[in-house]
Amino acid sequence: QVQLEESGGGLVQAGSSLSLSCGASGHTSSNYAMGWFRQAPGKEREFVAAVSWTGLNTYYSYSVKGRFTISRDTAKNTVYLQMNNLKPEDTAVYYCAAKRATNVVLIYYRSYDYDYWGQGTQVTVSS
């Protein structure tokens, strides 16, 4: 079992930046690919960004590419999501997710690929 805990959410104005963190605990000796998803009120959960087990590969949704950056510190069992130039449409609960990986380069963008989920952190962007 792996436990994930997100932090760093908050209320900001459009154009601002926020940095989210996701710390993993528990059975972290295995290798995990990581992802960030978000869910706005009344909408389905959507993919935001993903990073491979080793951090070699990253992938972003079209809506955040160029504004968000996913990274990981394997030694600290932590994944980050740097969000710049935030827009009101970025308002959502942001979740991190982990998938046990067997390949160093693969990334995953479908929510059902992931094995573990955090509780989420709220990001609200005012116009």
For residue 104, the model assigns a pLDDT of: 82
Nearest to 60 by CA among 26, 35, 28: 35
β 121-126/92-100 pair status: antiparallel
pLDDT at residue 28 tops 80: no
> What's the mean pLDDT in 27-56?
91
CB atoms within 10 A of CB 1: 7
Within 27-74, strands assigned E span: 32-39, 46-51, 58-60, 68-73
> What's the mean pLDDT in 5-16?
97
Residue 95 corresponds to which amino acid?
Y
CB 90 within 8 A of CB 125: yes
Q: What's the mean per-residue pLDDT of the chain?
A: 94
Interatomic CA distance for residues 52 and 67, integer angstroms: 19
Nearest to 4 by CA among 83, 101, 86, 94: 94
